[in-house]
Amino acid sequence: MKPTFLDFEQPIAELENKIEELRFVQDDSVLDISEEIARLQKKSLELTKTLYAKLSPSQISQVARHPQRPYTLDYLRSIFTDFEELHGDRSFADDPAIVGGLARFNGQSVMVIGHQKGRDTKEKIYRNFGMPRPEGYRKALRLMKLAEKFGIPIMTFVDTPGAYPGIGAEERGQSEAIGRNLYEMARLRVPIICTIIGEGGSGGALAIAVGDQVNMLQYSTYSVISPEGCASILWKTAERASEAAEALGITANRLKTLGLIDRVVTEPVGGAHRDHAQMMNAMKRMLQEQLKDFANRPIEVLLKERFERLMSYGRYKEDAA
Amino acid sequence: MSWLNKLLPPKIKRDSRADKPSAVPEGLWSKCPACEAVLYYTDLESNLQVCPKCNHHHPLNARQRLDVLLDDEGRREIGAEVKPVDILKFKDGKRYPDRLAAAQSSTGEDDALVVMQGSIHSMPAVVAAFEFRFIGGSMGSVVGERFVRGVQAAIEAKAPFICVAASGGARMQEGLNSLMQMAKTSAALQLLTDHQLPFISVLTDPTMGGVSASFAFLGDVVIGEPGALIGFAGPRVIEQTVRETLPEGFQRSEFLLEKGAIDMIVDRRELKRKIAELVSILQKQAAVA
């Protein structure tokens, strides 16, 4: 797969092009230029490392939306086995923007639920760009209840620009569907591990992200509103999105410092899209460890801690009354 | 100050309409935006800000709302000690602390939710009311915490919890902390369920975004005020996304009732009695006197 470079990655793109050209020349050249290629490759890696070491929040939000970033189904195929996809909310439709079903993780039964984006235009439209309608959230809740009934732990993967703002979505109760999930997930009697793998877009993300553990990939984002949306409201122009991204504090490291997420998952150099296999390994190791940890703790303890954490959200000062 | 102004009860001067430049003398007359009837302010006030000509429900601020619902005696404010802070050092055109200060001085409130314990037709109750004039009634950390303390007070008093929403959604200036208030407030309702106490959710104009998509639709009974705009995404956002003209009455209470999203629409002048009635039936008590 030929990598797609983001605008701030142009210097890397140029180097990579050069390497590509040299490789092409090498085939019918008498001179040995492999040393030169190796040198350039090393330089490209170094450049990627330096660039990625100081990404701005708005650059991170570009990486989070990278077209080659691993999506939920990529994780499902790589680190789970025997995935049995389950469809539909039983009242209206199946929403392809959220996928879910039973699977095995190292042989252990789990329920996996996640937003799903599309790769090509056709699939993007089919997946509605990963923006769920109420039936998506209701399907998710149905599957979570099923997991609860059989005592199966839940893993969710969050990657959505947000819940879909459409006429039908409103008519069928988008608000109620999201609110209901928040309420139910607070007390679901099985462990819930949530991982933000790309875009954590507001309520549409939160609706499957209430749990015992909230992980975030290094270059994913989680925000109350998209930087573009925020900028167009506060500055009346979407062009100031990078300022908004800065102000909102949407990156994994910032949110970890603020105590709003539990763990930052390190991505391969240059982002998860550069090396899917390495990303999958890191994800698998982490989920393994967390699942084991939760399996050893009584559900009452987990529920108490989950609830206490929910109640602790927010910062305020308290005056002596 | 004219002799007329001196005659007016002090409440009228606090009204937001009085701040806006107007052709009519300050706060005395008001034009109904729905039917354009010119109304004498005292008439409007005695009619709970409902237009006597066309029944249009004018906005109420949080304290007016509490006055409509709660009995006069035995009130105690909950969570007033909880005050906002600037977590992110957020700055758009204005610094967040300046925005807070401006909202505080124009509304007289510290944040966008006022919670009061008291009684409704002599039945104990805790009522939370949103102050829409405070940064669009947006939900940040203080709103979430006061909501939870209201729920806890209701449990201690073995009383129902009533929330009257009027909000544009989550408070952007608090970043992800404000999103988490959706999870916090929704989860807190589990405590009411544990104690079998009713949660009555009243949705007024407007109830949108993060407030709409959290506790607002989780009421044991969900009531809409006539004509209120209620929805997840704002009409403008939807129009831009789907590139269609929205149907007439879209996202209004009447539309939501038809779609099955709310239980009933209640005229503001009937609201107190209606809530008392619902709560007493749910709690298996005798009819309200």
Is residue A38 a part of any domain in this protein? Answer: yes
In degrees and rounded to multiples of 5, residue B51 shows phi and psi of: -60, 125
Per-residue pLDDT, B286: 86
- CB-CB neighbors (< 8 A) of A187 in chain B: 187, 190
Domain assignment of residue A92, yes or no: yes
Among candidates A165, A311, A320 on the partner chain, residue whose Cβ is nearest the Cβ of B233: A165
> Are A180 and A98 part of one and the same domain?
yes
Q: Does a structural domain hold residue A321?
A: no
**Interface membership of A206 toward B (CB under 8 Å):** yes
In a domain, A3, yes or no: no
> How high is the pLDDT of residue B7?
60
Average pLDDT in chain A:
94
Same domain, A44 and A95: no
Q: Does the pTM of the predicted model rise above 0.95?
A: no
Mean pLDDT of chain B: 91
What is the predicted pLDDT for the residue at A37? 86
- B174 contact residues in A (CB cutoff 8 A): 224, 314-315
**Which residues in chain A touch residue B251, judged by CB atoms under 8 angstroms apart?**
170
Q: What pLDDT shows up at residue B18?
A: 46
Write down the pLDDT at residue A321. Answer: 54
**How far is C-alpha A44 from the geometric centre of its chain's CA atoms?**
27
User: What DSSP designation does A118 have?
Assistant: -
Q: Give pLDDT, residue B42.
A: 87
Contacts of A311 (CB under 8 A, 6+ apart): B148, B184, B187, B188
In this prediction, the residues of chain B whose per-residue pLDDT falls under 70 are 1-27, 289
Joined together, the tokens standing for residue A256 give: 């970890």
Q: How far from the centroid of its chain's Cα atoms is residue A128's Cα? A: 16
What is the domain extent for residue A186?
Answer: 61-312
Judge whether A206 lies within some domain: yes
d(CA A190, CA A193): 10
Euclidean distance between CA atoms A207 and A95, whole angstroms: 15
- B77–A contact, CB cutoff 8 A: no
For residue A84, pLDDT over 80 is answered with: yes
Rounded CA-CA distance B92/A232 in Å is 11
Domain membership of residue A2 (yes or no) is no
AA letter at B20: K
Average pLDDT, stretch A74-94?
97
Task: State the best of A91, A167, A189 to mutate against chain B, taking most chain B CBs within 10 Å.
Answer: A167
pLDDT digits (tens, 9 = 90+) for A169-178: 999 999 999 9
- Classify domain B60-283 by CATH number: 3.90.226.10
Residue B259, C-beta contacts closer than 8 angstroms, at least 6 positions apart: A171, A172, A173
Q: Do B88 and A165 touch (CB under 8 A)?
A: no
Which pLDDT band, with edges at 50, 70 and 90, does A145 fall under?
very high
- Count of Cβ atoms closer than 10 Å to residue A238 Cβ: 15
**Tell me, what's the pLDDT at B190?**
98
Q: Looking at the structure, tell me whether residues A185 and A306 fall in a common domain.
A: yes
Q: What is the pLDDT of residue B25?
A: 54
| A79 and A192 fall within a common domain | yes
Total residue length of chain A: 321
> Any chain A CB within 8 A of the CB of B61?
no
User: Does B163 carry a binding-site annotation?
Assistant: no
We report the CATH number of the domain holding residue A166 as 3.90.226.10
With CB atoms and an 8 Å threshold, state whether A175 touches B246. Answer: no
Contacts with B286 (C-beta within 8 Å, 6 or more apart), sequence order: B280
Mean pLDDT for A191-197 is 98
- Is the same domain home to A42 and A170? no
What domain count does chain A have? 2
CA–CA dist B255, B271 (Å, integer): 20
A271-314: pLDDT as tens digits: 999 999 999 999 999 999 999 999 889 999 999 999 999 999 99
CATH code 3.90.226.10 region(s) in chain B: 60-283
Residue A224 at interface with chain B, using a CB cutoff of 8 Å: yes
Considering only CB atoms, which chain B residues are within 8 Å of A165? 232-234, 237-238, 241
Predicted pLDDT at B3: 58
**pLDDT reading at A20 higher than 90:** no
The span from the CA of A229 to the CA of A251, in Å, is 17
Same domain, A102 and A249: yes
Q: Is residue A318 part of a domain?
A: no
In this predicted structure, which of A21-25, A261-265, B33-37, B158-162 has the lowest mean pLDDT? A21-25
Which residues of chain B does A233 touch, with a Cβ-Cβ cutoff of 8 Å?
172
Q: Do A203 and B242 touch (CB under 8 A)?
A: no
Q: Report the alpha-carbon distance of residue A254 to residue A262 in Å, rounded.
A: 12
Q: Which residue of chain B comes nearest to A204, CA vs CA?
A: B213
pLDDT of res. B11 = 56
Question: Looking at residue A235, what is its pLDDT?
Answer: 84
pLDDT tens for each residue of A115-136:
999 999 999 999 999 999 999 9
pLDDT band of A32, cuts 50, 70, 90: confident
The whole-angstrom separation of Cα B266 and Cα B263 is 10
For residue A33, name the pLDDT band (cuts at 50, 70, 90): confident
| Cα separation of the two ends of chain B | 44
